[in-house]
């Protein structure tokens, strides 16, 4: 049996000289037409497709290959499975809907399910797994974790339907934390539709759990999405709702709500409110002593509140003050927290540009570009887009052209 020359010929006709280039081009095309930033094609898969046993691609990949070459898989040398019926055509709207269904599938499983015994020890099991996912997120970024965490949420949802009493309430609480993490991963990947959907799931499960701490946490999660959408007044509304009866919620949730409200204040240009809210949150930090497995960034992240203040100052255009804070914060952030460090460094570079120091901005950006390529964090790419805008005064100078070359591989399409 020979190699798959049909696919190789189609690749070469398209001007894709290697399996690596072909995989990259097909992945970008698929992400666009499927409206799914998580659609991936690896060079390893492409090489297998051109080998002796190419197998058969998924329906989504088959459609993307057709868009790329105008040919269906059986005309590209793939092994046609029994029962394959060639589609007459596909519409981009159908592809986008399929991508959205992938986002929602884990949360919209039809019930009821077959009853089963649910041991209370499963609550501790899922809580321990959750802490591991938080650590992995810092190292890996969103794309490698979304599928794993979504699948675990789906299992928790299935168990909730059979559990009773305190076991059911405990699973609802841990399920809300998993839904919140899925929402965060979609947000970090730049999929705001997916993030908004999962933040809504978080709020629903929190309400069902009757846990005031989780309800407040879910409102802060919603506010995070509105921050990324630039809707400062909505951020403030949601955080004020979370703090409405602050006596009922643990200090950790109050801190989260206050710092997020500070982001809302920065979006509305209120520097006084930013400092007041961050200072009030700082006074509460010594009182954080709960054992809740979620929302522990204020304990886990070095200089957590100064990170928020520096981000708000940057958004307010206070380059010198933001830059000084970032210099202090980054000294405490470990190299292993690669994704977070990259985001902070990108903000530091923007602060340097705002303060009139383009050479420092370029120096920092060289490091961030490598981290952005590794983690594929959309948040980092957005921050680099903000850096490009801050560097416009130097766009025709050598430093501006150098920055364009450094960032070109990771900011295409911003």
* Ramachandran class of 413: left when φ > 0, alpha when ψ lies in -120 to 50, beta otherwise: left
Note the pLDDT tens digit of each residue in 154-171: 999 999 999 999 999 999
Does 59 or 129 have the greater pLDDT score?
A: 129
The pLDDT of residue 96 is above 60? no
Q: Is the dihedral of CA 8, 13, 18, 22 positive or negative?
A: negative
Structure confidence at residue 83 (pLDDT):
58
CA–CA distance, 179 with 142 (Å, rounded to integer): 14
Nearest CA-CA partner of 184 in 240, 232, 134, 126? 134
Q: Picking from 18-22, 25-29, 64-68, 122-126, which range would have the lowest pLDDT averaged per residue?
A: 64-68
Structure confidence at residue 2 (pLDDT):
55
Structure confidence at residue 304 (pLDDT):
92
**Torsions phi, psi for 167 (to 5 deg):** -65, -40
Secondary structure in 3-state letters for 211-260 = CHHHHHHHHHHHHHHHHHCCCHHHHHHHHHHHCCCHHHCCHHHHHHHHHH
Structure confidence at residue 82 (pLDDT):
62
SS3 of residue 48 by DSSP: helix
Structure confidence at residue 78 (pLDDT):
86
CA–CA distance, 333 with 214 (Å, rounded to integer): 28
Structure confidence at residue 95 (pLDDT):
45
Structure confidence at residue 333 (pLDDT):
86
SS3 of residue 45 by DSSP: helix
Helix axis angle for 92-104 and 19-34, nearest 10°, is 90
Note the pLDDT tens digit of each residue in 10-54: 898 888 989 999 999 999 888 887 777 778 888 888 988 988 888
Bond into 256 cis (ω within 30)? no
At residue 338 the predicted structure's pLDDT band, cuts being 50, 70 and 90, is confident
Quick one: average pLDDT of 247-275? 96
Structure confidence at residue 285 (pLDDT):
93
Structure confidence at residue 227 (pLDDT):
94
**Torsions phi, psi for 240 (to 5 deg):** -65, -40
The pLDDT of residue 176 is above 50? yes
Note the pLDDT tens digit of each residue in 284-299: 999 999 888 888 888 8
CA–CA distance, 57 with 33 (Å, rounded to integer): 17
The pLDDT of residue 186 is above 70? yes
């Amino acid at each position: 049996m020979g190699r798959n020359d049909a696919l190789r010929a189609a690749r070469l006709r398209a001007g894709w000289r290697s399996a690596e280039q072909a995989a990259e081009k097909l992945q970008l095309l698929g992400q666009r037409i499927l409206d799914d930033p998580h659609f991936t094609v690896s060079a390893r898969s492409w090489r297998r497709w051109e080998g002796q046993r190419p197998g058969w691609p998924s329906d989504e990949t088959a459609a993307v290959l057709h868009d790329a070459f105008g040919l269906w898989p059986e005309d590209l040398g793939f092994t046609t499975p029994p029962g394959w019926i060639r589609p007459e055509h596909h519409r981009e709207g159908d592809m986008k809907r399929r991508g959205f269904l992938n986002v929602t599938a884990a949360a919209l499983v039809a019930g009821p399910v077959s009853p089963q015994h649910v041991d209370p020890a499963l609550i501790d099991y899922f809580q321990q797994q959750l802490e591991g996912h938080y650590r992995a997120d810092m190292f890996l970024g969103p794309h490698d974790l979304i599928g794993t965490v979504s699948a675990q949420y789906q299992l928790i949802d299935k168990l909730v339907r059979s559990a009773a009493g305190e076991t059911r309430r405990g699973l609802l609480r841990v399920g809300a934390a998993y839904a919140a993490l899925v929402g965060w991963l979609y947000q970090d990947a730049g999929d705001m539709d997916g993030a908004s959907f999962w933040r809504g799931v978080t709020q629903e499960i929190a309400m069902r759990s009757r846990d005031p701490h989780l309800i407040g946490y879910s409102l802060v999660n919603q506010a995070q999405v509105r921050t990324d959408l630039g809707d400062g007044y909505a951020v403030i509304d949601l955080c004020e709702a979370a703090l409405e009866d602050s006596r009922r919620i643990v200090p950790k949730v109050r801190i989260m709500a206050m710092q997020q409200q500070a982001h809302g204040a920065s979006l509305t240009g209120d520097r006084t409110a930013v400092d007041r809210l961050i200072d009030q949150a700082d006074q509460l930090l010594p009182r954080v002593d709960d054992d809740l497995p979620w929302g522990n960034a204020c304990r886990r992240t070095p200089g957590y509140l100064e990170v928020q203040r520096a981000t708000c100052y940057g958004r307010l255009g206070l380059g010198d003050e933001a830059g000084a804070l970032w210099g202090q914060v980054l000294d405490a952030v470990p190299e292993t927290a690669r994704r977070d460090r990259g985001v902070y460094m990108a903000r530091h570079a923007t602060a340097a540009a705002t303060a009139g120091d383009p050479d420092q901005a370029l120096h920092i950006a060289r490091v961030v570009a490598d981290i952005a390529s590794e983690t594929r964090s959309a948040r980092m790419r957005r921050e680099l887009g903000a850096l490009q805008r801050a560097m416009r005064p130097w766009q025709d100078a050598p430093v501006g052209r150098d920055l364009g070359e450094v960032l070109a591989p990771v900011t295409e399409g911003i």
